[in-house]
Copies of this chain bind each other. A is one copy, B any other.
Amino acid sequence: MDFSVDTATDAVTDSFSDTPDPRLRTVMESVTRHLHALVREVQPTLAEWNQAIEFLTAVGQMCNATRQEFILLSDVLGVSMLVETINEAQGGTDSTVLGPFHLTQSPRRALGDSIDLLGGAHPCVVSGSVSTVDGRPVPGAQLDVWQCTEDGFYDVQQPDTQPAGNGRGIFTADDHGHFWFRTVVPSHYPIPTDGPVGKLLNTTKRHPYRPAHIHFLVTADGFADLTTHAFVAASPYVDSDAVFAVKRSLIIEFAESQDTTAAAAYGVHTPFVHAQFDIVLGEHA
């Protein structure tokens, strides 16, 4: 068979026919078919294809131990969210992206502790429950929580001005599956714009901002892990997250409260902000 625009795809998919791992074979065949379909549709000039090669090379070369520009590219093209959503457990709370600021080691804290180690003037209480899809509590569920400051920076971005572990904590739900902790309301913030992905956003007139959110990674024996956010309903960009991570069900009212009784129970002063985030864990896929 001669090489032509029409025969090219079969020639390449056939070349993968001896792949021992059947999953890898399927993946490489799909990659080939979709990539070729893209090229046939776009009909890039040689100069345009060189630009694409140079862009991807620059993305790879921006990556280092603390920066993953290919994940950022996957994020701004909505692919990270698509993969996350394809893999989410049925019936549970909607999932969203893990993001680059999760740490595998975070401080364990008691229910009610504050994760705001800077002593911010505007206290916020987050409370909620963890339950099964049929409404039974999940006692002992573990909630790994992380967020940025009121100025929009995670602790790891400001090691000189934030104590390690600021904005982070691992909490364990009580016997009724309830949890609560104190914090400050996080800010919206831009994803890193000093690399090729930032240039792409700029050239396409897209803003780099993520709406304010608190990350949750919720785990319990016998249930699927849940990676999600509680989004601050009043935050700018809640309708245009640069990484497409907002799902409507995850937009939570962070409501100002003058309730002195509740404030006393939570150990905060009035006015304080209160957010209620109830979590449902789905079964393993």
A positions within 8 Å CB-CB of B: 2-5, 8-9, 11-12, 15-16, 18-21, 24-28, 30-32, 34-46, 48-49, 53, 56-61, 63, 68, 70-71, 74, 77-87, 203-206, 240, 244-249
Contact = CB atoms under 8 A, between A and B. Distances in A.
A82 to B, nearest CB: 5
A29 to B, nearest CB: 10
A59 B61 CA distance: 9
B3 A247 contact: yes
This chain's copy number in the assembly = 2
Contact of A31 (B77, B87, B246): B77
A44 B8 contact: no
Contacts of A5: 82, 85-86
Contacts of A2: 247-249
Main secondary structure of the interface of A (DSSP, over half): helix
B83 A44 contact: yes
Contact of A39 (B82, B246, B248): B82
A41 B19 CA distance: 19
B83 A244 contact: no
Contacts of A248: 2
A37 to B, nearest CB: 6
A71 B43 contact: no
Contacts of A77: 12, 31-32, 35
A57 B73 CA distance: 11
A39 B204 contact: no
B79 A36 contact: yes
